[in-house]
Structures are given as C-alpha cells and as structure tokens.
A and B are shown apart, each in its own frame.
Chain A
Amino acid sequence: MRVLGFLRWYVRELTGGGAYDRYLAAHRSHPHTPPLSRREFERRRSDLLDASPGIRCC
C-alpha cells in the first residue's frame, strides 16, 4: 500500500498535478484576493511555458 501511495504521489508530482494544491496552500497565507480557479491557474501555467520551453537532449 505504501509503495502504491508513493507511486501515485510520484506520478502526480512528476506531471505537475500537485501544482494547483501548492498554489492554494501558498495563497491561504495572504488571502486578500480570491484564488484563481483551477482552469485559470492551469491556463496561466501552460502559457508561461510558451516563453520558456524546456530544452530536451538527444
């Protein structure tokens, strides 16, 4: 069970699936504005990639 839990966590982290949860957690510490919706957050996150694509080796 622990191995499966680790694998699930690992795959989620590797693919950036946990980014929104982290954003919400960080947002809670200064809640002046309502947080972005998941759709809006993911949209901004992928648009940022447009300007800095990761280089891939051979």
Chain B
Amino acid sequence: MSRLGPGGSRITVRSVVVWTAVALAGAVGWGVLALSRGENVSAIWLVGAALGSYAIAYRFYSRFIARKVLGVDDRRATPAERLDNGVDFQPTDRRVLLGHHFAAIAGAGPLVGPVLAAQMGYLPGTVWIIVGVILAGAVQDMVVLFFSMRRDGKSLGQMVREEIGPIGGAAALVAVFAIMIILLAVLALVVVNALAASPWGTFSIAMTIPIALFMGFYLRVLRPGRVVETSVIGVTLLLLAIVSGGWVQQSAWADAFTLSPQTLVICLVVYGFFASVLPVWMLLAPRDYLSTFMKIGTIGLLAVGVIIVAPVLQNEAVTKFAVSGTGPVFAGSLFPFVFITIACGALSGFHALISSGTTPKMIQKESQVRLIGYGAMLMESFVAIMALIAASVLDPGLYYAMNSPAGLLGTTPESAAAAVAQLGFTITPEDLRSAAAAVEESTVIARTGGAPTLAIGISEILAGVFGGAAFKAFWYHFAIMFEALFILTTVDAGTRVGRFMLQDTLGNLWKPIGRVSWKPGLWGTSAVVVLAWGYFLYTGVNDPLGGINQLFPLFGIANQLLAAIALTLATTLLIKSGKLRWAWVTGLPLAWDVAVTLTASWQKVFHSDPRIGFFAQRERYAEAIEAGKVLAPAKNLDQMRAVVVNSTVDGVLAALFAILVVIVIANAAVVCRRAVRAREPLPLAEAPYVESTLVAPSGLFATADERREPVGTSAGGGSS
C-alpha cells in the first residue's frame, strides 16, 4: 500500500500491483454479470464485482473526498477531544466506533429492500446497490458525519435551521418525524407478516422479552457493567428459544402462539409503548446488546456461507416487470421504483440522523470520517448484496408465490400455483407444500414483506454449509428471529426517539411536556407515537391490496427524501465554504435522488394507473362503491371503503413529503445563490479551531509512520 508522507502520497510498485489486481477482480465480476444472458450465473461473480468496486472506491474516491473536498485536518481537535466529558463526548478508538456506527446504521432495511427489488431481476438491484453506495450513500454518510463533527455533533435538523434557515429547518423537522412514523410502521409490518400464523417464530420472538428483562436485571443488580458475560448468557438463551420454538410448534401450546396479524399488531403497539416508557436498562439496552451480537454474527455467517456455497442465481438478470411496471410485489417500472425500493444499502437518508447523532461526538481524528462514514456504509452495502443473492437463489415461481399479495394468490397451494402461472412462472402445488414443510411452516403463500423470502434463501445457503437439509427449519427460524430482533430494536429505539422529538417540539408550546421526567407528558407523547405508527401498521395488515405493496413505496420515498434533505445541506455547506468547484460531489447524487424521488412521488400521487397512483386508485374504488359494485381483491363494501381511506391517506402523505423537501431545497437554493454572489465565503456555524494534542491512526490499520508515533488515546489495545 502506498505510504503517506508529509507531501501527500508516494506511489510504490507494490501498491500499483495490488490495486491493479483488485481492479481486475472487480472488472471480471462485472464482465461476467454483463455478458451472461439466459444462463445461470454463480453468486460469486456478484461478490467479486461488489468487493472489487468497494475497495477501489474506498481507496481512491473516499480519499479524494476527505482531502480535496472536505479538507480534513488532523491538527484540528475534534469535539470528542475538546469537550470530552466521559459521557457522550468521548474520544473512542476508530475500530470500536466503526462497530458502533455500523450496528446503528445496518438493520433489516438492507435485507428487505433488495428482496423486494429482486422482482426486477438481480442486475438492476446489483448495479444500484454498488454504484449508489459509492457515489451517493457512502458520500452522504461521510460528508454529514464530517459537517456534524465540525459543529460539535449537531443534529441534521439543527444544521438545516442554522445553515439554511428557519423555514427549511421547520420543514426538515416535520419531515424527519413523519418519515420516522412511516419507517416504524413498515418495519413492524415486516415482523407481523413474518410471525402471523407461525407459532415457532412467535414463541421465539416472545421469549426475547423475558430474556432481555433478565439480562437487564443481571446487569443492573447482579453484575453491573459485565456486558460481555451478560450477552453470552443472553445469546445462549436466545438460541435455546429458537430451538424450543420447534418443540412448542409440535405441542399443545401451539394454539396459544398462533396469532392473527390483527392480534400481533395490538401486541406490538402495547410492547412499543412499554419499551418507550420503561427505563432503558430494563428492556432497551439489553435488547440492543443481543441485537448487535446477532447482527454481526449472522452477517459474518452469511458472508462465509455465500462464499463457500457460491450458490447459482435462479432469478433472471432483468425481468419483464422492469419494463412493464406490472410486477405483483410492487407496482411501477424500474425507474424510479427500484431506486426507492432499495434504500438502505445504496442510499439511505435515515443514516444522516445517525451520522449527526452520537458518532460525531466520539470521533478521535477528523480523517477517521473516511473509515467510519464511508467504510461502514460500504459494509452495509455488502449486506444488501448478500440479501439480493439470498432472494435470487430461490426458484422464481416460489419467489412470486411468497411475495405477491394474498388477494391475488388466494389461500390454497392450487390457487397460488394458478396465480403464479398467470404471472408467467411455474410452480406446482406440491412444490409449495414441500417448501413449507421443509422449513416447518404451515404455508409459504403470500408471506410478503421480504423477511420470510430472505429466511428461506438464507436457510438454503446456510444449510449447504452447516447441517444440511435437516437444519433448514432451524436456519429459517434463526433468520426470522434475527430479522425480527433487528426490527424490534429499531421500533423500540425509534418510538423513544420519536417521543423525545415530540416532547421537544411540544415543549416550545407548553413547557411541562418538554420535561423528560414529567410522567403524564412522557406517557401521552409515547402513546401518540405508538398510535401513529400503529395506525399505519393496522391499515397495512388489513389492506385488501396488500400492506407491503401499498406502504413500502411510501417508506422508500420517505427515506430517499430524507437523503435529499441531507445532501441539500451538504451541498449548501460546500458552496457556503467557498468550495463551489467541488459541489458536484454531493450535488450530483442530490440531483439524481431528487429526480428519482420526485418522479416516484409524482407517479404515486398523479399516475392514472390505479395500481400506481394513489388517487387514481381512490377514484376507481369510490366510483365502484357509488355503483354498488365490489372490485377484487376486496370482498365486501367495508373493504372497498378501507381501500378508499387508505389510498387517500397514502396519497396525501406522499404529496406532503415531496412538498416538505421542495421547501428545504428552495430555501437552500436561495442561500446558495447568495453564497455564489458574495465575494467572500458566507459565515458558517462551525466550532472554532483548536489545536489537537491527540495522536491516533486514521485508517483501519495503522501505517508504519503512524506506528512510530505514540498512540495517546484511551483505548490502547491489549486486555485490561
């Protein structure tokens, strides 16, 4: 690798050879993907294309951004160094912080989106995940992390208010809150669809609550601070819960854990309320430890599985739905809908909230934004690639039988097989029965939401390495458990964060609500937040057209519009600080993201096809009600009315999100115009320069030069 001297980089023969080899590996992967048509491709080429591209992008593009565009300066003290209070501001080892940051950004999102987007074939998703992360997603995460770090860890909303203006700031605040509600509802819907009518899954997930409570008690009372020990006990109990789920399914208890989607919604809402009002140590913190261990362990396991098994992709490269826009999983054509269906893994606006949250307050050195911001996002992108592989190793017939709405498939294997044949794919009723039997579920039909599909894909891959066909059911439920665990952690934390936002905002109107410890305010705001996402969850579960089909595009649009706000802020800050010539680095991804999301919003609001446009759908069903007709898949007039209400609410929300983002962009455009016209750079809200005395390496591995210097930081390595 090249060594960095005081004057920049020195090119060595070794570095040229290594990077040429990496480039070749990536190019061969892409070449095979591009040239294979009509034959089945091994997943290993996808892995090669991804890893080769990531390595090149990290080595060259992220370094360019760090040095030229942002101008990171390791002589400048970071907020962690200046404001170190041992609590939230604390210089943290870069590798530890990378782990924290990755655990915070990666969850079920990169696992679910690619599974749904597999409807368009594996190629569009692959290209978007890899190109999107390199040029947009990782850039956003890194740049927002840098700007927040320069402002003592201010949040996205605060930065928009201070650097763009109060109107943009207010719009951003409302957008963040609304987007969070939709996100929580859609994620919870994924869990409900995975657990409904599955006593094994429901039992295992229900057991995580007593396990977490026990861990919380153990950490608080019995062995304070011994997190590793507690987590080992917790993970062991968790694995036991997965295994015993199989026994419960066979026993007389099975009925007690066979819950309808409607019951599950009530359970989740009640659980979310308690998770929000109980102290963090009881439920939230222990769950978070469990989820982090499971996350890192399972993702590692899956990477090993994919590389050893090198499964063959059964999916087509590009399906007919990419052009026709008539796919059963979600309606609409490739542009713009692939780009909003896959958010996490390529470009996710939600990450901007994490990059402007705790991470910037813990970073030791400015140059580490490259490893933590850009690097962690590349890792998430790889998770998305693995999810895409897991969905694409399934037989397409099975994929569509699992992911089409129940209204289309009916409830019997025979009706589902017939519906799949209508779509142009083949699967026999016997195949559907044996697929369900292999994972010991009662049915695999219309198990929408992505989680069950991914779980079957993961069970195919992992059973190929560990345990064989007999272990398929275990791996299936292991995967379901791990996804549900991620999602419930997000729902817990999201409800709590949403409650704080609401308390903070309402506190401006009436003081007592703002006080975090005032119980009625705490209960009231928690109830408002859980009921808000609970409403969308409930309508999603009962929607005759399929909740995922209706709500997932809304979730994708919301997430990508948040990215538009983050990239607008980043571009404005580059222009304000006199770096107009580098503004394309965030400006181009912004232009692309705005084109995608506003097209998608426009189509969801105004499209004349009732499968795509919410208002066209409303019109169609409202007219049928007038005429006293019932349109399939609705079965009666009540369901017809439900469709009318849902499509109205969803359409209004899609329009609202788009308007809020347009307000932020318009406000930013005014500021940018002023900045370009001004002779000198406009004032920034940056914290003043303070000389740093801290020494720490900047990349993942310390270079030879860095090793010669003492590493004077808290986390010195070795065991203590």
Contact = CB atoms under 8 A, between A and B. Distances in A.
Q: Do A and B come from one complex?
A: yes
Interface of A: 5-6, 8-23, 26, 38-39, 41-43, 45-58
B327 interface: no
A30 to B, nearest CB: 13
B285 A9 contact: no
A48 B95 CA distance: 24
A58 B280 contact: no
B287 to A, nearest CB: 10
A35 to B, nearest CB: 12
B33 to A, nearest CB: 27
B354 A13 contact: no
A21 B226 CA distance: 12
Given A10-B95, A47-B281, A16 B227 contact: yes
Interface residues of B, number: 59
B187 interface: yes
Interface centre among A6, A15, A26 (most CB of B within 10 A): A15
Contact of B715 (A18, A38, A42, A50): A18
A17 B227 CA distance: 6
A57 B350 contact: yes
Given A56-B493, A57-B344, A46 B280 contact: yes
Interface string B224-262: 111110010000000000000000000000000000000
Interface in B340-384: 343-344, 348, 350-351, 353-354, 357-358
16 contacts: A5-B719, A9-B715, A10-B96, A10-B99, A12-B719, A13-B93, A20-B225, A21-B720, A23-B86, A47-B279, A48-B87, A55-B497, A56-B107, A56-B288, A57-B104, A58-B187
Contacts of A18: 715, 720
B285 A49 contact: yes
Interface of B: 86-88, 92-93, 95-96, 99-100, 104-110, 112, 183, 187, 219-220, 224-228, 231, 279-281, 284-285, 288-289, 292, 343-344, 348, 350-351, 353-354, 357-358, 489-490, 493-494, 496-497, 500, 516, 559, 714-715, 717-720
B363 to A, nearest CB: 15
Contacts of B343: 58
Contact of B719 (A8, A16, A19, A39): A8
Contacts of A6: 717
A21 B714 CA distance: 10
A56 B490 CA distance: 5
B224 A42 contact: yes
Contacts of B358: 52, 54
B344 A17 contact: no
Contacts of A55: 104, 353-354, 357, 493-494, 497
A13 B280 CA distance: 20
B289 A15 contact: yes
Interface centre among A14, A23, A45 (most CB of B within 10 A): A14
Contacts of A49: 280-281, 284-285
Given A22-B86, A57-B490, A13 B351 contact: no
B493 A12 contact: no
